[in-house]
Amino acid sequence: MKRIVAALVGNPNSGKSSLFNLITGSHQHVGNYPGVTVEKKEGVCVHKGHEILFVDLPGTYSLTAYSEEEIITRRFVQEDRPDVVVDVVDASNIERNLYLGTQLIEMNAPLVFAFNMSDLAKRRGLVFDLEQLSRLLEARIVPTVGSKGEGREALLDAIVETAREGRKPRIHGLNYGGEIEEELARVESVVLSQEKELADKYGSRWVALKLIEQDDEIVGKVQHKEVLDVVTKSVFHLRGIFRDEPEIILADRRYGFISGACQETIKNSVERRHDASDVIDAIVTNRVLGLPIFLLLMYTVFWLTFTLGEYPMLGLEWCFGRLGAAVSGLWPAGSDSWLRSLLVDGAIAGVGGVVIFLPNILLLFLAIAMLEDTGYMARAAFVMDRIMHKIGLHGKSFIPMLIGFGCSVPAIMATRILENRRNRLTTIMVIPLMSCGARLTIYSLIIPAFFTPHWRGPVMWLVYLIGILLAVICAKALRLTVFQGDTTPFVMELPPYRMPTPRSIAIHMWQRSWMFLKKAGTVILWISVVLWVLASFPKPAPERLVGLDREHAQQVALEYSVIGRVGRFVEPAIRPLGFDWRIGTALIGSVAAKEVFVSQLGIVYATHTDNNADALREKLQAHYTPLVGFCIMLFSLIATPCFATVAMTRQETRSWRWAAFQFIGLTVLAYVITLVVFQVGRFLT
Amino acid sequence: MGEAVMKESRIRPLSMVTTGDRVHLVRVRAGRGLNSRLASMGFVPNVEIRVVSNGHPGPFVIIVKDIKMVLGRGVAQKVFVQ
């Protein structure tokens, strides 16, 4: 069977991913490009004896060297040399969409155009002379409707045909007009004679075009200074004639070529009127209504995720409980086999503690996929931009931060909606400051222990507020230092509203959730095991446990373990925060998952087995002041994101460096703030 | 009358254009990156820009080549039109 590699390119919002989903169905593989955070999707489809491998490249408007996505797309087309490049074009918006096509023509890529959403174009009154247009563009054109599955066969036929023909020289291509063509010829001839290698690899005309555009990547590849001298002269000459950058002049000429081609081949029978999109926009981006509508929608998403998700979550919890009990049952009752404990207390409890969030994650990504596919997300970014801009973030950053109140792990995954890397990293770094659901278990232990019912609400509110304020301050500080640089100029398309297809939403949701499960099965499993070992070994000598009940035996064992020892070891360091070794031990345990703090403290105070929070609260009241209680909450809020968060940060930033930076940075911040609060508080009380 | 014509063709930043007006791009005065990005999105000399809403002091909604877009105020100040 012959294998054909087809690259899918297209503008954002051209319906490229829905077409990709339509063609490849569930036979997809999602990964990341090495070294960058841009997603890489591949899918296979068999058509008339040909196996076609589709590579879904990032959506771009152009193929310059200014953004990660554009460089990836360009490199793939030029260096991996796919057999066919499919340019997905929004047929209801040909002009802007074909701009990318003109650049693919310049690369002499073996092209097929998919005129997607052709039903919408028809409704808008656009009539195409595809035969004529295909002659002008020198490529096959296939009308498709990605959301309804129309045009699939014809597109696959066109891909197979184009692959069979291979690359062939173009007859006319794009003509840039007198002066520009003269300079292009000059540069091209010097490229041909001096930079043989570049010319062979990319084609001399394309290299000449990029040099005149002063494309950083290609300029950097030039070996001979004489070539650059010729280019500088040409650029200077063109600037003098046109009083603008050559880059802009070339863009203008490409648009000229497109409008020429369109004028001959497209008839627009209806003038674009106010359509439904404009009406909806007038409401949801309204100056007064926009923000409340957005907040209401977000609240609904939130409510859906954590209320509706609760029942399946309880179900999963029950399943893991049963699994633990079943595995436990393999050993005789009362056995203290370490293997049993490793499996039940380490692996099953650890992975279970994270996997029970799966219903939440499914629902959350369902909601996000809906907001994205309908086109509302772009409006949300628009509405929030005014506020988020002040702290140096993008309007869209607000969404992952909000999700962070539920759980940092899906929140960090949700930062994928941010295109700009600096914005994305900043958002990831501050997400753990949004107080997550797991930390709520700590607050609900501490607050009733130290505060009268009257004060409980305000204290809780204060803790959350401190988190938000710190996130704002940190984001601003990070943008001014580590992630310094231009706040990316805010330019964004507002795509027309569309009805999302259940199929594409399902695929979207499933891919994200599968990634989460894989994570839980690998990194989180290992970390749970390691923490279990640290909390279980070394074991005290059996004679020390003689005569103790189960509860006190656990207490002694934890004290004796590595974690207990580390807790004691760090006591001098955490003394100034008002913490003793018991709190230290529990805090170290809470690195596995924040809620572990409560169970660890239960073990340390030997109130674990009654499962009675009040018994533990009494002990806390006896040992600590309300100020210490508050400091515990403060420290838990800010410090050491749990390991699942660290692992997710590592995955999404593709670097342990950022994960370590986040972990250490937040811990130091927590230490300093808690220190100040405790010392000042002690002075005042 | 001469003044009216003058006013019509005066070159000014897009941020000063009022809601509902149609203007033509003269040039974008920004760094190379933004310049090229806007050019690829259709901001080429003489293109018609329709201001859907001048959301002072916030972002700006416009239609260029039949596509609705949002520009930050910073960007709108760098786009010169007449």
* Whole-number pLDDT of residue B4: 46
Q: What would the pLDDT profile of A109-128 be if each residue is shown by its tens digit?
A: 899 999 988 888 888 788 88
- A478 closest CA partner among A671, A670, A669, A674: A669
Q: What is the mean pLDDT of residues A261-265?
A: 85
* Cβ pair A33, A111 in contact under 8 A: no
Percent pLDDT > 90 in chain A is 15
Average pLDDT in chain B: 81
Q: Do A66 and B33 touch (CB under 8 A)?
A: yes
In CATH, the architecture of A2-165 is 3-Layer(aba) Sandwich (3.40)
Q: What is the mean pLDDT of residues A463-474?
A: 89
Instruction: Give B79's contacts in chain A (Cβ within 8 Å).
Output: none
Q: What is the mean pLDDT of residues A339-367?
A: 76
Question: How many angstroms separate the CA atoms of A34 and A425, rounded?
Answer: 17
Q: Do B37 and A62 touch (CB under 8 A)?
A: yes
Instruction: Give A376's contacts in chain B (Cβ within 8 Å).
Output: none
Strands B79-81 and B12-13: antiparallel
Cβ under 8 Å to A: B residues 38-67:
38-42, 44-45, 47, 53, 55, 57-59, 61, 65-67
* Whole-number pLDDT of residue A393: 82
* Whole-number pLDDT of residue B2: 45
Average pLDDT in chain A: 83
* A198 has pLDDT over 90: no
Question: Mind telling me how many Å the CA of B54 is from chain A's nearest CA?
Answer: 11
Instruction: Give A277's contacts in chain B (Cβ within 8 Å).
Output: 68
Lowest mean pLDDT among A372-386, A536-550, A661-675: A536-550
Domain span at B58: 2-81
* Cβ pair A431, A401 in contact under 8 A: yes
Instruction: Provide the pLDDT confidence category of residue B8 given band limits of 50, 70 and 90.
Output: low
Q: Do A386 and B58 touch (CB under 8 A)?
A: yes
* A332 has pLDDT over 90: no
* Cβ pair A396, A384 in contact under 8 A: yes
* Whole-number pLDDT of residue A100: 93
Domain count, chain B: 1
**CATH code at position B68:** 2.30.30.90
- A412 closest CA partner among A431, A399, A394, A440: A431
CATH code, residues A178-268: 1.10.287.1770
What DSSP designation does A145 have? B
* A415 has pLDDT over 70: yes
- A112 closest CA partner among A71, A156, A70: A156
Lowest mean pLDDT among A66-75, A166-175, B32-41: A166-175
Of residues A582 and A633, more confidence is placed in: A633
Q: Which helix (H) or strand (E) element contains residue A401?
A: helix A398-403
Q: What is the mean pLDDT of residues A169-189?
A: 84
Q: Which residue is listed with tokens 């087309």?
A: A77
* A34 has pLDDT over 60: no
Question: How many angstroms separate the CA atoms of A646 and A661, rounded?
Answer: 10
The three-state (H, E, C) secondary structure of A402-445, written as one string: HHCCCCHHHHHHHHHHCCCHHHHHHHHHHHHHCCCHHHHHHHHH
Q: Do B69 and A492 touch (CB under 8 A)?
A: yes
Q: Do A248 and B30 touch (CB under 8 A)?
A: no
Chain B residue at shortest CA distance from A272: B66
Between B28, B67, B74, which is nearest A93 by CB? Answer: B67
* Whole-number pLDDT of residue A523: 66
Hey, is the C-beta of B24 within 8 angstroms of any chain A C-beta?
Answer: no
Q: What would the pLDDT profile of A101-112 be if each residue is shown by its tens digit?
A: 999 998 888 999
Give me the residue spans of the domains in chain A.
2-165, 178-268, 522-684
Q: Do B58 and A385 touch (CB under 8 A)?
A: yes
Spatial neighbors of A309 by CB under 8 A, at least 6 apart, are: A359, A360, A362, A363
Chain A residues within 8 angstroms (CB to CB) of chain B? 61-62, 64, 66-67, 93, 95-96, 99-100, 213-214, 244-245, 247-248, 251-252, 255, 272, 277, 281, 285, 287, 378, 382, 385-386, 389, 486-487, 489-496
Q: What would the pLDDT profile of A199-251 be if each residue is shown by its tens digit?
A: 888 888 889 999 998 888 888 888 888 888 888 889 998 888 888 888 888 99
Mutate to test the interface with B, among A212, A491, A492, A498 (most CBs of B within 10 A): A491
Q: How many CB atoms lie within 10 A of CB A232?
A: 12
* A271 has pLDDT over 60: no
Question: How many angstroms separate the CA atoms of A359 and A362, rounded?
Answer: 5
What DSSP designation does A78 have? I
